[in-house]
Amino acid sequence: MAGGVNFLRGRGRRFERALEKLDRLADFTNSGEVDLVVFSGDFTAMGTRAEFATARAAIQPFVTSPAEFVCVAGNHDLYTRTVVREKRFETTFEGLLETDLPEARVDGPWPIVRLFGDNVAIVALNSAKPNPIPWRSSGLIPPRQLEAMRSVLGRPEIEDRFVFIVTHYAPCLEDGSPDTPAHGLENAEEFLRACAGVGCGAILCGHVHRTYRTRLPAIEPEIFCAGSATMHELEGFWMYDVEDGHLTAHRGSWTRDGYEVEPGEAHLRPEGGAKE
């Protein structure tokens, strides 16, 4: 009920053109330059059946595009215990939650592990859960998923690849500080510790409605928050290019009638240095 009030009081209006924007984003994806699309969650507002049906139809152009598709659930997609019990997310995205290492799964479809070409791997974890207390929207990666990720990262199929670790919740904010207990990832420190040794990789997330990148001291992979692809005045995404184990990232934005990538590489800032 609290989510419904929040939606009607303004959140919904900020996504009024979401379907049109997704169509334009699919145009961008289908331009031929994109090999893989990663959605970092929150396809719906409250995980209703109608919302899931709309979301599934809206992502169809991405699913049928030549680019591969990987997604994780957001907290809005696992909004209530009923939504989780009925497995609405898993049912809606059936066929899109496949993994190349089924033996690594420990929690429903998670972690999802995908191997692309001979140089890229994705490890996708679920950090979303229902929050029955209305003022909380925090997340948690179950420890068994973290343990499975540690094990996957040590496997020979993964070792020499650039690894994108994907989950909905941002492990930190743009300035590197933790998100609030009511909104953030409850076990962000454990998650970051589990990722710390990934020498060649990046952490991709969402949940925070800002497109940013940040690097933490002693944590090797850089953190990229996609923000929201469709939220009014905050539309954004990241486009990545991996070559010879080196990542370049370009910020994408909305230009009233389409998406474009901002010119020039958004340069990596020095480790432990100031924000870009």
- Comparing CB distances to Fe ion, the nearer of 2 and 196 is 2
* Nearest distance from C-beta of residue 201 to Fe ion, angstroms: 23
* Nearest distance from C-beta of residue 209 to Fe ion, angstroms: 9
* Nearest distance from C-beta of residue 28 to Fe ion, angstroms: 23
Distance set, CA 57 to CA 44, 105, 126, 145, 236 (Å): 12, 27, 22, 29, 21
Distance CA 204, CA 145 (A): 16
For position 29 contacting Fe ion by CB under 5 A, the verdict is no
Q: Which residue type does 69 have?
A: F
Residue 224's beta-bridge partner residues? 204, 213
Residues across the chain: 276
- Total residues at the site for Fe ion (CB under 5 A)? 4
* Nearest distance from C-beta of residue 211 to Fe ion, angstroms: 14
For position 24 contacting Fe ion by CB under 5 A, the verdict is no
Which H or E run includes 257?
none
Chain-centre distance for alpha carbon 155:
23
Q: Tell which positions 68-97 bind Fe ion, by CB under 5 A.
A: 74-75
For position 252 contacting Fe ion by CB under 5 A, the verdict is no
Alpha helices of 180-236 — where are they, by DSSP H? 188-195
Q: Which of 38, 40, 42, 59 binds Fe ion (CB under 5 A)?
A: 42
- Comparing CB distances to Fe ion, the nearer of 75 and 126 is 75
Distance set, CA 49 to CA 69, 93, 172 (Å): 22, 13, 31
Q: Tell which positions 199-228 bind Fe ion, by CB under 5 A.
A: 207
- The residue at minimum Cβ distance from Fe ion is 207
What is the binding site for Fe ion (CB under 5 A)? 42, 74-75, 207
